[in-house]
Amino acid sequence: MIDLRSDTVTEPCDRMREAMATAQVGDDVLGADPTVKQLEEFTAEILGKEAALYMPSGTMTNQVAIRLHTQPGDEIVMEENSHTYYYESGGPAALSGVMCQLIKGDRGLFTAEQLTAALRPKNLHFAPTKLLVLENTHNRGGGKIWPIDQLQSVTNTARNANLRTHLDGARLWNASAATGIPEKEYAKHFDTISVCFSKGLGAPVGSALAGSAEMIDRARRFRKMFGGGMRQAGIIAAGAIFALQNNRPKLKADHKNAKLLAEGLTGLKGIDIDPAAVETNIVFFNTTDPAAELVEKMNQKEILMLALGENSIRAVTNLMVTKEMTNQAIETIRSICQ
């Protein structure tokens, strides 16, 4: 089985399992888990922030960040296909009571001018805009990377408008692997940043929210409020530490395999794909026939992908997929499309 549905399907290797099995643990809610502390300190160091907080999921880190930066009745600004808006179950409204102002971007990216146009004037009739949320890399943008200059321009505009800034950096590791720009260079433009350990890095569970010591101390209350306080979490935190120490360099192989897949699908009957659009580990392509039918034919031959729309398919390369498996997937799809 070649599973290209997502980079969340990765499983711990034997060495990661050993690290988890031997991890020192304690009650993290009481601040007594040494392995969780080690993970949080390590993550904060990588991101150039004062502190970090370990949580069960990226959805929770994003939603805690929104709650941290806003009050009910506020408005937050993000791109219209952002994970925080599109895939987090209405969390901004349900958990923080905020409105979402959406900007129509290009593969998840927008300009400082678009942000300025979206900001509401100070008027008692309007919800006050308090927070800008960006996503890097952008999931529904096909793994698109924010150019650092454009990111800086947009966040500077937000700061000049007295907005706080949060980065959904679930796949920030991929952006850094692809560009060579250290994670902290992206993170320095934001008040808070969330990163995920259970996607491309291959850990089984968890994300972290990083920021100032004051913000992260306050975020602990919201993590508890949202049900994210964990006890002997060092067992899973050890997997995340192993992932940070060992798997970040492997992301470049995922990117090469994604490009290989895109180039291999180019020109196949019934498939429309632009290999130049593949910047990291996410591959989008369009189909002439219903996408669900092609996905089912691939499933029958043990190639797993996701149909995202009537004529759109997503494939995500990951730690579990080698170059040889990528070539096998290409040949299988070629045989289907003949």
SS3 181: coil
Which H or E element spans position 295? helix 291-300
Q: Which of the four pLDDT bands, split at 50, 70 and 90, describes residue 215?
A: very high
Model confidence pLDDT, tens digit, residues 93-106: 999 999 999 999 99
By three-state DSSP, how is residue 120 classified?
A: coil
pTM as predicted = 0.96
pLDDT tens for residues 161-174? 999 999 999 999 99
- What Cα–Cα distance (Å) separates residue 87 from each residue in 59, 60, 139, 200, 214? 8, 12, 10, 18, 29
pLDDT tens per residue, range 148-204: 999 999 999 999 999 999 999 999 999 999 999 999 999 999 999 999 999 999 999
Query: What pLDDT score was predicted for residue 234?
Result: 98
Residue-level pLDDT at 76: 98
Q: How confident is the model at residue 236 (pLDDT cuts 50, 70, 90)?
A: very high
Distances (CA, A) of 61 to 68, 180, 199, 206, 293: 10, 25, 15, 9, 36
Q: What is the pLDDT of residue 22?
A: 98
pLDDT reported for residue 221: 97
Question: Phi then psi for 194, rounded to 5 degrees?
Answer: -110, 140
Residue the block writes with tokens 């491309």 = 200
Reply yes or no on whether the pLDDT at 259 is more than 90.
Answer: yes
Dihedral sign computed on CA atoms, order 318, 16, 193, 306: positive
Q: Give the pLDDT score at 107.
A: 97
Distance CA 148, CA 156 (A): 12
Residue pLDDT, tens place only, 220-231: 999 999 999 999
pLDDT tens digits, 9-25 = 999 999 999 999 999 99
Taking residues 19-46, what's their average pLDDT? 97
Q: What is the DSSP-derived secondary structure letter of residue 317?
A: -
Q: What is the number of other CB atoms lying within 10 angstroms of the CB of residue 140?
A: 21
Residue 132's identity, in one-letter code, is L
Across 45-57, average pLDDT? 98
> Dihedral angle at the C-alpha atoms of 214, 218, 219, 225, nearest 10 degrees?
170
Radius of gyration of the chain (CA): 20
Q: Mean pLDDT for the chain?
A: 97
Q: Work out the average pLDDT over 200-220.
A: 97
What is the crossing angle of helices 251-265 and 323-337, to 10°?
Answer: 20
Bridge partners (DSSP) of residue 52 are: 210
| Domains with residue ranges and CATH for the chain | 12-246 (3.40.640.10), 250-337 (3.90.1150.10)
User: What is the model's pLDDT at position 338?
Assistant: 83
Q: Over the stretch 114-136, which tens digit does the pLDDT of each residue have? A: 999 999 988 999 999 999 999 99
Both tokens assigned to 317: 């390369």
Phi/psi at 130 (5° precision): -120, -20
